[in-house]
Amino acid sequence: MLRRSANIPRTTLSLSRSTAPAARAFTKPSLPVSASSQLSKSNVLLELDVNKVGNEIRKRGLTSALNGQRDGGMDRDTIIRLLYSLGSKHEVERYLRIFTQSSQAGATGAVLPEAKFAVLKIGGAILTNELDDLALSLSFLNRLGLYPIVLHGAGPQLNELLEAEGVVPDYEDGIRITDAKTLAIARRVFLQENLKLTTALERLGTRARPIPTGVFTAEYLNKDKYGLVGKITSVNKAPIEAAIRAGCLPILTSLAENAEGQILNVNADIAAGELARVLEPMKIVYLNEKGGLFHGVTGKKISTINLDEEYDALMKESWVKFGTKLKIREIKELLDTLPRTSSVAIISTDMLQKELFTDAGAGTLIRRGYKLYKQPSVEAVGSTQLRQIFTDRDPEVKSGRKSVAEIFSELKNSPHTIYGDEPFDVVAVVSHPEGETPVMTKFLPSRNGILNKIVDNVFDAIKKDHKRLFWTAKADDENRAWHFERADGSFTRAGRSLFWYGVPAVKQVETIIQGFEENGRIERVFLPVGPSVPPHRIASTGGARAFSTSARPSASSASTSSARRGYATATDVPRKRVALIGARGYTGQNLISLINAHPHLDLTHVSSRELAGLPLKEYTKSDVSYSNLSVKDVGKMAEENEVDAWVMALPNGICKPFVDAIDAATSKGGKSVIVDLSADYRFEKDWTYGLPELYGREATKTSTRISNPGCYATNTQMLLAPLMPHLDKHQMPSVFGISGYSGAGTKSGEKDAEGRPKTVAKVTPDDLRGGIRPYTLTDHIHEREASTQLRTLLPSSGSASEFSLAFIPNVAPWFSGIISVLTAPLEKTMRASEILALYEEKYANERLCVVGKGVPDVTEAEGKHGWRVGGVQVHSSGKRVVVVGALDNLLKGAATQCMQNLNLALGYDELDGIPLDKL
């Protein structure tokens, strides 16, 4: 076991998973080490080539696709694939899921989910010069099931017609003075442009509904000064909702009416803002010909503006004046009233898809962002707040390896800076002794900090202050791609990866690391320096998911870099649908309870032959009734992708026809995940065996066929895994297990008052007469299951392939909970403290694992979602160890483990929906 220096901790980067699939990972072109440098350069060139040709591919392909769709030629999936020319498949599918599920939890009477997607404000010049491109982009979004609410202006067209009729346009304070004649012409122009756009959409087979009036109510802004110009007082959503319900894109103008029915002219940008305040969309998009905001000095397009952090400084810039200052101020006032998930994009028509569906974006993105701080000491930040952050998030503190007091003491002994944001969603510590290279030793984000990209903002702040930086992370960190994206170079040794930026040559890296060694600032195992292979394009190879992508440059840098901005659009995590086949048993009932508490999963189907037609009372998110799904029903549902995941909670030997039906649907476009709770597929090589604590998470994340381990087998493997390298190869370990009677399964009993068959245990305490009953004394299936899987933890050799264990199961008169006693012969003499240390090290970062010194009691495990181990004792010979493990057979032995596997396969945090206060 490697020990770090006591002087400075290795970097803690406890970054949890993302609600979305992996984004592309590139190492920067300047990376100095080995083949990774060449790979990164080729990847960057490839990205530039895609950007260059992607728009032309899109225009040609989408035109063909939309025409084909109108004639019944191309399906939705074909159209989606055309987006892959703009970004990675995972980027596109992530944003599509977010947009199409943006308001699943809307209350009755709330605005339609489709209306939560985006409000698009279209400049009049675009209707004249880019009508075909605009119609193509809007039609494309609609074919994806999205309903952008379009509000257009007509300024240039109005000016042209006014001049033709001898009316000279007149403005006051930038507002068009509108008399009766001007308003009459304006109404005619707005109607003409509105119909022109709806006609162009309908030519592409997209239904559109013109709504020139009836949405905005206004009062006179200042009748004496501006004439018939209105100030919006309310927004009527009914015409918009009616259009969307009819399957039409709503096409609005900025004309309003007052209480007396007088039509009033309203600025289109202001109208779009008022519309957004009512609808609270994820995106407010302003389409213009320039395609964004441009820096007044450098002339470069501004990629991203984080208002909370940059607004004050930006408004003091000499080039920010007149119309630019007004627009930025209005956008800030708008976003201040909206959820932080909302953002504004200023973009050209031909880049709309790239802006919406890729991390790189294309125009100028404006979001609220977060206020950041940096302080030189714990006291300057606030020791009380920091103490809580370290207690809740730091793995060293949570595992008991260090106390918060020890960490605070270490910080006092070395110059450092603490970075973070005001709500403490991210805390980072950078150690920087005088004249030495800085090391980032802590990086502790909350879930909100990850989802809202504060992690990127804090890292950018660190990078501004430190031209070079080193940090480390676990080699198997599921977020490795995030580190690689931010590093100029890296390599991995002894289970940890070292990252750095700002150092141009390997020799210089070696010199710096040698200095770290001498001063005890980093692990010795990193010398000599050697290259590692970063997970470039990790998303396309099914590797680890990156919870984030690099933030685009800020307004101050105004860079045209292609760096991505991450989830700039929204933080809503896509919801997934689950079907449960076999819901009557104890495990099914526990799984229903977990899904009911899950923040992102919806139970849409529960199948039970005996309960068909009865309501599922235990599920409160929505009204669900039991059904009796046939194999044919399941196959059809899978083919049409009606659910995202199937859970088979059926007895052994029953689920194969259902699995075969879903497999057959896969060849026709079905994409659903299966988690099987029976033993039917635990020995199939093309199924993933889902015990995350022992066999890793990566395979499960990319798998669609997952076999849930058995309850006894889980307890047995967790007990034996830390000991595998130390077992006597010539003697067999044995496990004596006792389970509550719920483990024997259920049967139908008499019906209750509603006609429901009662679920009763097959074996009852009365049957057992208060005693313990051994059964299947040899060759129990869990014995074979545990032996087969544990072999994979040993080197491929004759002894490993011959590994086996003995298992004796028993049933007891308590309801749930398993206690297993392991007796294991050891290869060499060991002490109990050494054995306990093996368990502590193995399960130090596993939140569902509790390692203790005392013997765990079955009552401590009943109703709990975790696994407990303890009671380590070594025989006086030093060559035989006894260890005790306990878990609830219905939870960590079944339903909880199933939820872990579902979360991993569907892209959620592994512990979502699992009550962590019941471990």
Q: Catalytic amino acids?
A: 711
- E strand or H helix at 278: helix 268-279
Instruction: Name the DSSP class of 294.
Output: B
Query: What's the CA gap between 333 and 475, in Å, rounded?
Result: 44
Q: Which residues are within 8 A (CB) of 487 and not within 5 positions of it... i.e. 6 or more apart?
A: 27, 499, 500, 501
Reading the block at residue 854, the tokens are 């005392």
Backbone angles phi, psi at 825, to 5 degrees: -70, 140
Reading the block at residue 281, the tokens are 């969309």
- E strand or H helix at 11: none
How many CB atoms lie under 10 A from the CB of residue 143?
A: 22
Instruction: Name the DSSP class of 615.
Output: B
- Check if the beta carbon of residue 216 is closer than 8 Å to that of residue 255: yes
Reading the block at residue 392, the tokens are 């809740």
Residue 284 carries which side chain, given as an amino acid letter?
Answer: I
CA distances in angstroms from 244 to 115, 120, 134, 268, 859, listed in the order given: 8, 15, 19, 21, 55
Cis amide linkage into residue 528, ω under 30° from 0: yes
Reading the block at residue 679, the tokens are 């033993």
SS3 187: helix
Question: Cα dihedral sign for 436, 437, 438, 440?
Answer: negative
Query: What's the CA gap between 188 and 195, in Å, rounded?
Result: 11
Query: What's the CA gap between 435 and 515, in Å, rounded?
Result: 11
Burial of 412 (0-12, 13-18, 19+ CB in 10 A): exposed
- Check if the beta carbon of residue 681 is closer than 8 Å to that of residue 707: yes
Of 544, 398, 452, 437, the closest CA to residue 919 belongs to 398
Reading the block at residue 702, the tokens are 């990319």
Reading the block at residue 577, the tokens are 């649908």
Start-end of H helices in 726-815: 765-768, 781-790, 798-801
Which residue reads 């429901």 in tokens?
Answer: 756
Query: What's the CA gap between 717 and 783, in Å, rounded?
Result: 10
Residue 210 carries which side chain, given as an amino acid letter?
Answer: P
Of 427, 442, 433, the closest CA to residue 415 belongs to 433
Query: What's the CA gap between 550 and 571, in Å, rounded?
Result: 16
Query: What's the CA gap between 381 and 375, in Å, rounded?
Result: 6
- Torsion of the alpha carbons at 677, 680, 685 and 689, rounded to the nearest 10: 20
- Check if the beta carbon of residue 598 is closer than 8 Å to that of residue 896: no
